[in-house]
A and B are shown apart, each in its own frame.
Chain A
Amino acid sequence: MAASQLSPQSNGVSPRSQSATRFRGCSRITDYDILGKLGEGTFGEVHRAKSKKTGAVVALKKILMHNEKDGFPITALREIKLLKLLSHPNILRLEEMAVEHHAKTDKDKRKRAIMYMVTPYMDHDLSGLLENPDVPKFTEPQIKCYMIQLLEGLAYLHDNHILHRDMKAANLLINNKGILQIADFGLARHYDGPVPAAKNGGGEGIRDYTTLVVTRWYRPPELLLGMRRYTTAIDLWGVGCVFGEMLYGKPILSGDSDQNQLKIIFDLVGTPTETTMPGWRHMPNAEGLNIIPKPKTLHQRFRAHGSGACQLLDDLLNLDYRTRLNAIDALEHPYFKARPLPAKAGDIPMFESSHELDRRKNKGQKAGPPPAPKGGTVGMGPNGGWGEAGPNGNQNYSHNDGYGRHHNGSRYPPPPPHGGYGRNGVPPPPPPDGERRPAWRRDDRPDPRGLPPRPPPPGDYHDNMRADGRYRSASREVDRPPLPRSRAGGGPNVDTYIPSYGGGEGGRRDDRRRRDDRDERRLHVDRDYDDRSRSGRTRSRSRSPVRERDRERVRDREDRDREMYRR
């Protein structure tokens, strides 16, 4: 390379640079054949398309220009910049940007070109997959496989100083090869604190960020309590919610307001104490919040899924962000090393594509529920949809007794209000009828019910997720019955062992007590929680007691927190 370098011909370009990426313009939307609408993302709708050049099927995510007076939306720019820098098998790859120019004849005010983000097409999003009636209930090896991929991706993000800030099932894409990828970086940002290290939880935050992040059902308690100095641990809470959702088959913490969200979180993991959530009293929104101490019910509720799953869920849904499991440690959790071992991604059966849009669509056709209220408030509609079939479909343990969660068109609570973000303030409205029929409900194909998804091949549950042999081989797993469990009929054991989830009128003590609470909540609003008997009713706290050292830390922190929130 050397000698030629000084000659004019070489233009001073070193050969090494030949391998580097180039800057080149965006491609045109006309380079793609649009195949159909998939759903709504942070910035706008998502279409499925096929590249004319490569033949690859891709997803095109339209970037809506909301606030044109500031030029190209900053959230979109941030997302694009981040995605261009990221490269990991479990992070959705941004292939390129495509531009759609308006026809020259079109001379009205909106002359601006429309931009699309081009990513590989993924067959499902996790949320759509979970609600697709034709997809059998996830098996444990399958859940483990997805969880590992999710955690790998998140560990990579956090290690690269990135907070995702919108962890939820709908943002986890899965393809028919069983690969899970984290998507939607519209709320992601650079994280200034120290990156998580093994055995070190989430660490401490070093600066403030906006609290207007994370979709409510996946929002961690510290955010709900208004803490601004949060850490990478906020994403891990979301992972916990997603994990629970995979086990249970539906979102586990679907609050209909921020206050209600806190309440149902505390119903599940117990009310906070200085032990379980040091310094919580001094968080901004905790002021004047009276809470009747309640024990943790998580282990009871998820008992059917085994102690390993319960423990992992408990560690992820840890009220204290400092000790909440981080992604590195979560990957080492005994749950993933216990039988049944995680499935190999390639062994997970293929399903018909399922997306948020399909699911909403399906509800609209099947049960004909009233249209989603403005703002998409959740939990108001009647129990429609397919979920009612099972004996365990009726009694939702969370809020609003009796209402399942298949109520209205919009499954999602509104994303947090946005100050200054170009993001939609409300969840996407249900699509107008007749726009696109879900793949599994189209007339032009054989009834999918006649062709149930391929059951997992026998003997596919063992090991070798990774080359390093982290998961021991378990050939004995071969004789494990590979039958997919039917969603509608409820999983085996579920109804008998988890009254709060599936037992319906199980009449268990715990269940009744909870319902009383709900009634109580109806009468007095959240501020009426009484904390007189606070110390009295905490029982079965499974977390270890605080050691003296921790107490000191806690005291220090309290002081600091108080200082901080005074501002």
Chain B
Amino acid sequence: MSHLSNPLATADQLYQRSNALPIEIQDSIRFYTARLTQAAGILLRLPQDITAQANVLLFRYWVVDDLMAHEFSDVSAATIYLTAKISAEPRSLRSITNVYAYLLSSPSLSLSKNPGSSSDGDGNAKVDPESYYLSEGTYITTRNRILNIEGQILNALGFVTHVALPHPLAITYLQTLDVFANANGKAKELARRTVEWLNTALLSPQMLYLTHQPASLATAAIYLAARETGVKMPDVEWWEVFDCEREELGFLVVGMGSLGGLVEREGKRWGERGMISRLGVREEVKYLNGGGVVDEEVETARLMDEKVGA
């Protein structure tokens, strides 16, 4: 069984994405939607591995099908519904539609670090419960949309719903490297940062989970985390043991590290708008095409993309 490897995107599939929308807008859509899925996963109390798989499926779907075919939040909801359904922790459509209605009700929610926190206590006052009440009628239409997209996703993926995640591998690698015995206290921090890097990479519009196998992702995350926490790694080229070559490691380290810059860029572009929608994207594209002001920005972004190797 191919438990440890994933199907990867072809070069064609990756290039294809540049046809209709400017690349940086595509990046925005991927980044914002993945982040929405992540927030929904937390509110749905799904184990992170299911949320992570949902985001990988989301990106896979979008290299096959058009980004603008469905509303982004609906695609996010459909992937999380589908992923949870085939896992040991299914979630009802009612829960999922409720969570998405809540997350979309206020711009700040899908962006906040802890989307659940504002509902239980102090932040509560900010969100009016009326704004995320889902009537039966709205629920039915949302449900039907989600189910339709579920079918589209399955069709686009050829029903390949298996996703191998690097997280467990990374822990195994850390054990193999013996860090838990030698890193005197920093080991826990190292493991935590490793997993955080892997979760961060899920949001990367470079779609690292579609271009690299779990073993390489795990190795790169360990590399970054070790550098951060100052845990000493073996002097030799230890990554080779984990089937990751130096160049691939270098690429992934840069790729994973670039997300911080991207978040800043996105913040500038979209401001406090919260989750973006197809409508917002269309307006933005119009704006980009019309005003010459942004040309420089587009150029910079493109250069940046190239540098990063997207």
Interface residues in chain A, defined as those with a beta carbon under 8 Å from any beta carbon in chain B: 1-3, 5-8, 10-14, 16-17, 20-26, 68-72, 74, 77-78, 80-81, 84-87, 96-97, 99, 112-113, 115, 160
Contact = CB atoms under 8 A, between A and B. Distances in A.
Nearest to A73: B85
A74 B85 contact: yes
Interface in B81-113: 81-82, 85-86, 90, 93
Interface stretch (B2-10, B44-52, B188-196): B2-10
Most buried by A among B6, B8, B216: B8
Nearest to B1: A85
B213 A23 contact: no
Nearest to A86: B1
B211 interface: yes
A97 B159 CA distance: 7
A7 B306 CA distance: 8
B10 A13 contact: yes
A85 B2 contact: yes
Contacts of A7: 309
Interface string B146-173: 1100110011111111100000000000
B93 to A, nearest CB: 7
Nearest to B86: A77
B81 A80 contact: no
Contacts of B270: none
B30 to A, nearest CB: 15
B15 A84 contact: no
Contact of A84 (B9, B90, B162, B211): B162
B206 A12 contact: yes
Main secondary structure of the interface of B (DSSP, over half): helix
Interface in B65-92: 81-82, 85-86, 90
Contact of A20 (B90, B93, B213, B255): B213
Nearest to A162: B1
Contacts of A96: 158
Contacts of A97: 154-155, 158-159
Contacts of A113: 151, 155
Contact of A71 (B81, B158, B246): B81
B60 interface: yes
Contacts of A85: 1-3, 162
24 contacts: A8-B305, A10-B309, A11-B309, A12-B206, A12-B310, A13-B14, A20-B213, A21-B2, A21-B7, A21-B160, A23-B63, A25-B64, A26-B155, A26-B159, A68-B147, A72-B154, A77-B86, A80-B161, A84-B160, A84-B162, A85-B1, A85-B2, A87-B1, A96-B158
B158 A12 contact: no
A97 B63 CA distance: 19
Nearest to B150: A71
Contact of B247 (A2, A68, A77, A86): A2
B240 interface: no
B212 A14 contact: yes
Interface of B: 1-3, 5-11, 13-15, 60, 63-64, 81-82, 85-86, 90, 93, 143, 146-147, 150-151, 154-162, 206, 208, 211-213, 216, 245-248, 250-251, 255, 305-306, 309-310
Given A12-B208, A26-B154, A71-B93, 9 more contacts: A1-B245, A10-B309, A11-B14, A11-B211, A12-B212, A23-B63, A23-B160, A25-B156, A81-B161
A113 B151 CA distance: 9
Contacts of B3: 85
B86 A81 contact: yes
Nearest to B146: A71
Contacts of B86: 74, 77-78, 81
B10 A71 contact: no
Contacts of B306: 8
A233 B56 CA distance: 36
Nearest to A80: B159
Nearest to B305: A8
Q: Can you list the 9 inter-chain pairs with the closest CB atoms, starting with the nearest?
A: A2-B247, A17-B8, A71-B147, A21-B7, A85-B1, A12-B211, A97-B159, A5-B247, A11-B14
A20 B158 contact: no
A23 B151 contact: no
Nearest to B250: A6
Most buried by B among A12, A87, A112: A12
Contacts of B146: 71
Nearest to A189: B88
A80 B157 CA distance: 12
Nearest to A161: B1
B248 A70 contact: no
A13 B248 contact: no
A72 B151 contact: yes
A1 B11 CA distance: 14
A13 B8 CA distance: 8
A87 B1 CA distance: 7
B11 A84 contact: no
Given A1-B245, A17-B211, A77-B85, A71 B7 contact: no
B15 A11 contact: yes
Nearest to B161: A81
Nearest to A74: B85
B57 to A, nearest CB: 9
B9 A13 contact: yes
Given A13-B14, A81-B161, A23 B251 contact: no
